[in-house]
Amino acid sequence: MHGRSPDVAGQHLDVLIIGAGISGIGCAHYLRVHHPRRRFAVLEARQHIGGTWDLFRYPGIRSDSDLHTFGFEFKPWVGEHAFANGGEILDYLAEAVVEDELEEVILSGHRVVTLDWSSAEARWRATAQRGDRSTVELTADWIFAGTGYYRYDAGHLPELPGINAYSGRVVHPQSWPQDLNCTGKRVVVVGSGATAVTLVPALAQSAAHVTMLQRSPSYILSLPRRDEVALWLQRRFGQERGYRLARHKNMLIQSGIYGLCRRQPRLARRLIRRLTARQLPAGYPVDEHFNPTYEPWDQRLCFAPSGDIFRAIRDGRASVVTDRIETFTTTGVRLASGKQLDADVVVTATGLQLQALGGIALRLDGVPVDIPARVSFRGMMLDGVPNLAYLIGYTNASWTLKVSLVCGHLCRLLAHMDQGGYDTCVAELPYPHMPTRPLLDLSSGYVTRGLRSMPRQGPRAPWVQPMNLRADKRMLQDGPVTDRNLHFRRAREAPSRTDLHGAQSLAVTNTSV
């Protein structure tokens, strides 16, 4: 779907939303519902909506969270599969855009490259680059960065010794070529994370054989592709109520799995290993290939819908090799053990790169902002940066669960500013040199590599990036908008418009996740 909004060059917006993925579409929905008189637009760098789901086109691309929690709170997921493929998710997002009549506010092919805050005017000046390299400028009172935290133009590619000697084809999942056909070919997938676990069973359907080459194992948990309980709930109670019940059920399951892994890691390890062994052939070396050195949820758990990767291994269409690459050869990969893996295609599922705010150059009155030196406030703002909200979803649950909380809180914040006649809102640290820690709490490679480019978090609320749904609900949904660390100012004459309708509707409807 292409954006069909008018040109925004030289115009002023109440809110500029950056990114037409799940976060940006969600924010647009909540603004339309709770602040219908506010003028906003969504600028999307790509030519289509969907964000990550439009970018990733590799075989088998799917969600690794169930769609009853990964879907929006306001739009029931009625698909047959709880774990949906990328195409189904794109269709779902397109439906959400049409149902909210958001086509007119989404402008595709516009990459925001700079944001400069003017204290005198209490507004942001944004510069966006079009596909033809021309630029447009516009201003906005508020910025919502729905940019996620992945770098879209390049994935992570480690040094691969001897790769230039290899005569086959090398591809990275993030830039999967449309003309690549792996039918009847020998494929080596380098990596053991969520992308590799998705690719292996999908490629194994037609390839001669697929080998997952990993340096160390990951935890893989099998969950049913079809959620029969959720389907029954929707048949019994209707789409909307059944969806809410299924969503609540699955939130409890996600929380339960994570809680067990963190509180009793040894028990969780034994349970996951037992479930894994049951799905593999008798005598399979489970501890060599599926027994990680780290504890469950030190890194993200990988999910295999209906155990598809284990089924591919049982059927002999896929295999796992745990070893290190010594060098590439003309025909494949020679391993540290001396073993040779011949391959027609090598897929480097070696991870992603983190990027804060989509790589946008952020300035305050012309002075560049050092984003890694900033501290997260309520998991949605940065200290010292006025009128800017961002969204980073959960690492231990569905990303989208955060959308209703952050966007709902932003709407409450805007209503409070309207009522007080404020035009500037900024979080300020309670004291200099406050102790900080990394923003994300995972030890996954893509996280540890990229944390130096991300902001940080403090020792306690509200200076945290919560990865706990209950804590977020207490802070963002049930807690007050005001805080002694949050300062509201009138940098210019207060606007004559006061959107009381937005505040009243929010007080009635913002009562559940």
Per-residue pLDDT at 47 exceeds 90: yes
CATH at 375? 3.50.50.60
Tokens read off for 395: 């690492």
In a domain, 435, yes or no: yes
Work out whether the CA dihedral 203, 208, 214, 217 comes out positive or negative: positive
Per-residue model confidence as pLDDT tens digits over 454-483: 999 999 999 999 999 999 999 999 999 999
Tokens 């729905």 correspond to 146
99 and 198, same structural domain? no
- Compute the average pLDDT of residues 193-217: 97
| Whether 242 contacts 234, CB under 8 Å | yes
383 and 239, same structural domain? no
Per-residue pLDDT at 152 exceeds 90: no
125 and 91, same structural domain? yes
Work out whether the CA dihedral 438, 443, 444, 448 comes out positive or negative: positive
236 and 146, same structural domain? no
How confident is the model at residue 492, as a pLDDT?
66
Kind and range of the H or E run holding 266: helix 265-278
180 and 148, same structural domain? no
Crossing angle for the helix pair 239-263 and 265-278, nearest 10 degrees? 110
How confident is the model at residue 441, as a pLDDT?
83
- The rounded percent of the chain whose pLDDT value lies above 70 is 95
Domain boundary among 296, 328, 348: 348
Per-residue pLDDT at 7 exceeds 90: no
Chain mean pLDDT for the chain = 92
Cis omega before residue 285 (within 30°)? no
DSSP state of 104: G
How confident is the model at residue 493, as a pLDDT?
53
170 and 283, same structural domain? yes
41 and 143, same structural domain? yes
In a domain, 92, yes or no: yes
Per-residue pLDDT at 505 exceeds 50: no
Residue 107 C-alpha from the chain's centroid: 21
365 and 308, same structural domain? no
- Compute the average pLDDT of residues 298-316: 95
In a domain, 169, yes or no: yes
How confident is the model at residue 483, as a pLDDT?
97
200 and 149, same structural domain? no
Per-residue model confidence as pLDDT tens digits over 377-398: 999 999 999 999 999 999 899 9
Domain boundary among 303, 330, 348: 348
Amino acid at 342: D
In a domain, 5, yes or no: no
For 189-217, the DSSP string reads EE--SHHHHHHHHHHHTTSSEEEEEESS-
- What is the distance between the alpha carbons of residues 191 and 350, in angstroms, rounded to a whole number? 5
Per-residue pLDDT at 267 exceeds 70: yes
- What is the distance between the alpha carbons of residues 418 and 497, in angstroms, rounded to a whole number? 8
Per-residue pLDDT at 512 exceeds 70: no
How confident is the model at residue 6, as a pLDDT?
57
| Cβ-count burial 91-118 (b if 16+ within 10 Å, e if not) | ebbbebbeebebeebbbbbbbbebbbbb
| Whether 217 contacts 292, CB under 8 Å | yes
In a domain, 7, yes or no: no
Per-residue model confidence as pLDDT tens digits over 273-295: 999 999 999 999 999 999 999 99
Quick check: helix, strand or coil at residue 86? helix
341 and 225, same structural domain? yes
How confident is the model at residue 506, as a pLDDT?
31
How confident is the model at residue 17, as a pLDDT?
98
Domain boundary among 348, 368, 397: 348
Quick check: helix, strand or coil at residue 69? helix
Phi and psi, residue 153, nearest 5°: -85, -10
In a domain, 158, yes or no: no
> Beta-strand (E) ranges in 26-149?
40-44, 106-108, 110-118, 123-130, 135-145
- What is the distance between the alpha carbons of residues 302 and 425, in angstroms, rounded to a whole number? 39
**CB atoms near residue 365 (< 10 Å):** 9
- Compute the average pLDDT of residues 21-38: 97
| Whether 391 contacts 27, CB under 8 Å | yes
Nearest Cα neighbor of 51 from 80, 92, 79, 83 is 92
In a domain, 1, yes or no: no
| Whether 186 contacts 340, CB under 8 Å | no
pLDDT band at 8 (very low <50, low <70, confident <90, very high): confident
| Whether 221 contacts 299, CB under 8 Å | no
- Compute the average pLDDT of residues 70-99: 96
The two counts, helices (H) then strands (E), for the chain are 14, 25
* CA angle 93–96–100, rounded 5-degree value: 150
91 HSE (CA, 13 A, CB side): 10
Strands 437-438, 40-44: parallel, antiparallel or unpaired by DSSP? unpaired
How confident is the model at residue 502, as a pLDDT?
36
Structural domain of residue 188, as residue ranges? Answer: 163-348
For 282-336, the DSSP string reads TT--HHHHS--SSPBTTBPPEEEETTHHHHHHHTTSEEEEE--EEEE-SSEEEET
- Compute the average pLDDT of residues 202-228: 96
235 and 103, same structural domain? no
184 and 91, same structural domain? no
Nearest Cα neighbor of 264 from 296, 221, 220 is 296
How many domains are there within the chain?
2
Residue 395, Cβ density class (10 Å: 0-12 exposed, 13-18 middle, ≥19 buried): middle
C-alpha dist (Å) from residue 469 to 72, 173, 174, 402: 15, 31, 30, 8
How confident is the model at residue 507, as a pLDDT?
29
How confident is the model at residue 351, as a pLDDT?
85
